[in-house]
Structures are given as C-alpha cells and as structure tokens.
Amino acid sequence: GKHWTVNEVRALIRIWSDKNIQQQLEGAVRNKRIFEQVAARLQKFGIDRDWKQCRTKYKNLKHEYKSVKSAQDSGNTSKSMKFFNELDAILGHCTIEQASKSDN
C-alpha cells in the first residue's frame, strides 16, 4: 500500500486518542470492528484507508513507541521517533495517572 503521510498519521492518532476508542482497543482481541470505525472516521477527514491498513499502522506505531520508550527508560536518549509525544500521551498511561494524582 502507499505510505502514510504525516497528516494521515496525525489523523489516525487523533482518532486513537479518543477515550472511547482506547477503551475498546484495550478490551478487544478481535478488533476489526473498531478499526472499521477508525477507517470510517478517517474518511471524514478525506483519508482513504481500509481497516487493515489502520490496524497495521496502529500496531507498527505502538511497537515503535514501545521500543523507543524502553530504550529511553534504560537511558538511551538517542532513540526517537516521530509522534512520540502524541503516542506517549495515549500509551504512557501510568505517567498520565501519576500526573493527575499530583494535580489533586
């Protein structure tokens, strides 16, 4: 398939950051229906991707994020990726919870 543009990935992450989508993804093993929703929402942005492309991109981003995150946790700050901060806001759950606790 054709490469994802920066705008397409941003749109995917924006949809992914929706609490409702996150909760569905966390509890799901078979997540085709969820990615069909994601693909439908991308279409509203004029982005034509099928659910498989969305799922693959989601998995790849998540995998890349995890490897960068674990590298950083072990002190390797040279490893980085595009969209790390956006993904960290979604996937770095414990840090979000810790931040909200310190707010109270």
Query: Do residues 19 and 41 touch, judged by C-beta distance below 8 A?
Result: no
Domain assignment of residue 63, yes or no: yes
Residue 95 has pLDDT above 90, yes or no: no
The residue range of the domain holding 18 is 4-92
Q: Would you say residue 99 has pLDDT above 90?
A: no
- Measured N-to-C along each axis, helices 93-103 and 84-91 cross at an angle, to the nearest 10 degrees, of 70
The answer, yes or no, to whether residue 101 has pLDDT greater than 80, is no
Q: Does residue 50 fall inside a structural domain?
A: yes
Average of per-residue pLDDT across 44-50: 96
In a domain, 47, yes or no: yes
Count of domains forming the chain: 1
User: What's the mean pLDDT in 47-61?
Assistant: 96
pLDDT for 29 equals: 80
In a domain, 102, yes or no: no
Residue 103 lies in a domain: no
The pLDDT tens digits of the residues spanning 30-39 come to 899 999 999 9
Take residue 33 and report the two structure tokens written for it.
Answer: 């229906």
pLDDT tens digit sequence for 69-89: 999 999 998 888 999 999 999
In a domain, 104, yes or no: no
Residue 16 resides in a domain: yes
Report the alpha-carbon distance of residue 26 to residue 39 in Å, rounded: 18
